[in-house]
Amino acid sequence: MFEGFDKLTSIERQDAFLDMWVSADGIEFAGEEAKAAYKERAGLVASALKIDQGIKRVPIMPLTTFAPTMLAGVSGRDAMYDPDKAGQAYVDFCNKYQPDTAGAAPMLGCGQALDTLDYHLYKWPGHGVAENLSYQFNEKEYMKAEEYDHLINDPTDFWLRSWIPKTMGALAPLADLQPVYGSMELPMLSPWLISLGTPPVQEAMQALLKAGKQYFEWINAMGAYMAQIMAAGFPFGAGGATKAPFDTLSDSFRGTTSLMMDMYRRPEKVLEAVERLVPPMIKNGVDGAVANGNPLVFIPLHKGADGFMSDEQFQKFYWPTLKEVMYGLADAGCVPCCFVEGAYNQRLEYLADTSDIRSMYLFDRTDMAKAREVLGGKVCIAGGFPISLILTGTPEQVKEATKKLIDDAAGDKGYMLSIGCAMDEAKDATMQAFIEAGKHYGKY
Amino acid sequence: MADLKDLFTAVVEMQEDTAMELTNKYLDEGVPALDIFNCYQEALEEIGKRFEKQLYFIPELIMSGEMMKAASEILKPHLSEETSASGGQKKLGKVLMATVQGDIHDIGKNIASMMLDLNGLEVKDIGVDVPAETIIAEAQAFGADVIGLSGLLTLAFDPMKAVVDKLEEQGLRDKIKVLIGGGQMDEQVCNYVGADAYVTDAVVGVNYIKGWLS
């Protein structure tokens, strides 16, 4: 990162990375005013993360997926197939609503490349869901119970030769690739290279190269709009993203039902697998954050929520490796920002464990007054505003609820105002009311 | 009825292999299949109680569903058609379950369907991404007392409302209760949709439905 970084403690590293981000060095701004606005906004976020008592206002961080494009009248399909339309909608969203952080437009993904790959892990507009909607996860058992050892012994090999062939139809032939290990010696090199030369694998490789090119062109187009967003004074709300090891195993590999049974049928394998996933999950978050010069690493949490598992199961299977990932991120100077989906009313005490690093928990349905009671002043808390009011409420209701939420949650000065849901859609009048009320009532 | 305490304990304590061994052992020993089946039913009732007390959660519900399924496979040939179809009990009422149009999520719906079934309701699950017209036609054909609408995403709000609106248009609203369930359901959404109740938890949903039908 910089000279002397390795001598710092985790929290000092996090603060150094946050300071670098707030300094906005290297960003080309539209003017001095935009630069000042960027520094002020990023500064508010950094202050809330540090629970800095000098903070002037509650930062406002709306989590958006398709909301900017839907508000602009761009269909879900166009959002994923036309980076100019998607990028412009994200620019317009920032200019119109003036949030303190911009949403990560690249999360929308590149439809053309998904077509090329014959992608199965999600359904997307025009591919399994209607063209006006957003993409949706297509959960299945993509990893069989007997594959635990493959994942544990060599995650990358498992990823490349087992999981990717099942989740990307065009790459199915990669299941017949030989492992790379033989390349250690010339006489043992042939099986791997021969398997690469078979017509189906050659075709799969062509598809992979094509999808890569499509993604590269797409980000070049999208990048221009992201640069515009920053130039206009809006920092991005996330630099990288990763997941809790248990969620990766549950959501993407085994499927919820299978993994829930694995906790009884093969608990030792589950524990070994989640432990094995810690380093890749850390690396994934850090790489994104460093590449984007933004320390905030977004971690959506799923299966550890109240109701999904017992406290004992959470303590055994979920929390230890999530915590390891969070501390691994902090060690690299990144700030883990957990998006706590569902409710965590019964888990709040655990979250207080991370009070010795900078961390943030953005809540969906957790009782925010209770969250503040347990976590206030220890870690940064965020979210808690119901999406239902944005979509079906009146501006007056939104204003009132925003005031109440700030009264309940912001008192320790380590709070960020956000809707507790990644927004696939929004309504103009209520969105406007939400941001205005946040800025008005959020003054300290 | 034979004393099947060890089987009851094995099921309640999630000892899947032991439960299966004991099921086979008792069948071999000539214990009536219905007794064994009833033992499973009692165990499931106990599991339901533990779920309500928040001692058990989704893993246990899924495990118990699996154990019941496996046991039913073995016991079915030994049970008369009548008893196996009704589980030996009269059903409390009929619930049609669906994830609404546009939403393809099914985990919550599947868990709720299983819980309703285990609680003595006759459940028809018609899948995901189901248009309002189909839901209503299926509910009528099935003779549903309750329609359970599932949706994880916010985009489910309007399709849920469409179901209620169409029920009203067709004069069916007072005959069929509507329960909505999913991660983003709350009172605000419930009012918007015009449903009778909302839930974010399968057990609460079962209790609503049992209350309506009692």
The phi and psi torsions of B10 (rounded to 5 degrees) equal -60, -45
CA distance from start to end of chain A: 34
Picking from B55, B63, B188, the nearest residue to A389 by CB comes out as B188
pTM to 2 decimal places: 0.94
Residue to mutate among A131, A264, A424, with most B CBs inside 10 A, is A264
Q: Which two three-digit tokens encode residue A134?
A: 């957003």
Q: What is the DSSP letter of A248?
A: I
Q: Which two three-digit tokens encode residue B156?
A: 């489910």
Q: Does the beta carbon of A15 lie under 8 angstroms from any beta carbon of chain B?
A: no
| Strands of the A335-340 sheet, one edge to the other | A240-241, A296-301, A335-340, A360-363, A380-383, A415-416
Amino acid A3: pLDDT:
86
The residue with greater pLDDT, A144 or B108, is: A144
Q: How confident is the model at residue B2 (pLDDT cuts 50, 70, 90)?
A: low
Amino acid B51: pLDDT:
87
For B67-97, how does the pLDDT look when each residue is reduced to its tens digit (9 = 90+)?
998 998 999 888 865 454 445 567 889 999 9
Alpha-carbon distance A146 to A128, whole Å?
30
Chain B nearest-CA distance from A439, in A, is 24
Under 8 Å between Cβ of A348 and A370 = yes
Task: Name the nearest CA neighbour of A285 among A236, A246, A338, A249.
Answer: A338
Q: Which two three-digit tokens encode residue A142?
A: 């993509």
Residues written for chain B: 214
Amino acid A273: pLDDT:
98
Share of chain A above pLDDT 90, in %: 99
For A34-46, how does the pLDDT look when each residue is reduced to its tens digit (9 = 90+)?
999 999 999 999 9
Q: Which two three-digit tokens encode residue B28?
A: 């071999």
What does the H/E/C string look like for A385-441? ECHHHHHHCCHHHHHHHHHHHHHHHCCCCCEEECECCCECCCCHHHHHHHHHHHHHH
Picking from A265, A393, A424, the nearest residue to B154 by CB comes out as A424
Which residues, at least 6 apart from B186, have a Cβ–Cβ distance to it below 8 Å?
Answer: A386, A388, B198
Chain B nearest-CA distance from A266, in A, is 12
- For chain A, what is the mean pLDDT? 97
Chain A nearest-CA distance from B94, in A, is 25
Q: How confident is the model at residue A2 (pLDDT cuts 50, 70, 90)?
A: confident
This model of the complex carries an ipTM of 0.88
Q: How many CB pairs below 8 A link A and B?
A: 88
Amino acid B77: pLDDT:
87
Pick the range with the lowest mean pLDDT from A190-204, A217-231, B79-93, B129-143. Answer: B79-93
Residues of chain B in contact with residue A423, where contact means CB-CB under 8 angstroms, are 154
Amino acid B115: pLDDT:
85
Residues of chain A in contact with residue B63, where contact means CB-CB under 8 angstroms, are 260-261, 264
A425 with B192: Cβ contact below 8 A? no
Pick the range with the lowest mean pLDDT from A233-242, B115-124, B146-155, B172-181. Answer: B115-124
Alpha-carbon distance A438 to A406, whole Å?
8
Chain B nearest-CA distance from A123, in A, is 9
Amino acid B19: pLDDT:
97
Chain A nearest-CA distance from B30, in A, is 29
Exposed / middle / buried, residue B166 (Cβ in 10 Å: 0-12, 13-18, 19+): middle
Amino acid B91: pLDDT:
82
For A317-334, how does the pLDDT look when each residue is reduced to its tens digit (9 = 90+)?
999 999 999 999 999 999
Residues of chain B in contact with residue A137, where contact means CB-CB under 8 angstroms, are 105
* Sequence-ordered strand ranges (E) for chain B: 94-99, 122-125, 146-150, 177-181, 197-199
Alpha-carbon distance A388 to B195, whole Å?
15
Alpha-carbon distance B160 to B182, whole Å?
11
Residue with tokens 């030769």: A161
C-alpha angle B39-B43-B47 in degrees, rounded to nearest 5: 170
A423 with B104: Cβ contact below 8 A? no
The phi and psi torsions of A236 (rounded to 5 degrees) equal -85, 145
B155 with A263: Cβ contact below 8 A? no
For B11-61, how does the pLDDT look when each residue is reduced to its tens digit (9 = 90+)?
999 999 999 999 999 999 999 999 999 999 899 889 988 988 889 999 998
B105 with A261: Cβ contact below 8 A? no
Q: Does the beta carbon of B137 lie under 8 angstroms from any beta carbon of chain A?
A: no
Alpha-carbon distance A221 to A254, whole Å?
35
Residues 95-154 of A with CB under 8 A from B: 123, 128-130, 133-134, 136-139
Q: What is the DSSP letter of A33?
A: H
DSSP letters of B124-167? EE--SSB-HHHHHHHHHHHT-SEEEEE-SSGGGHHHHHHHHHHH
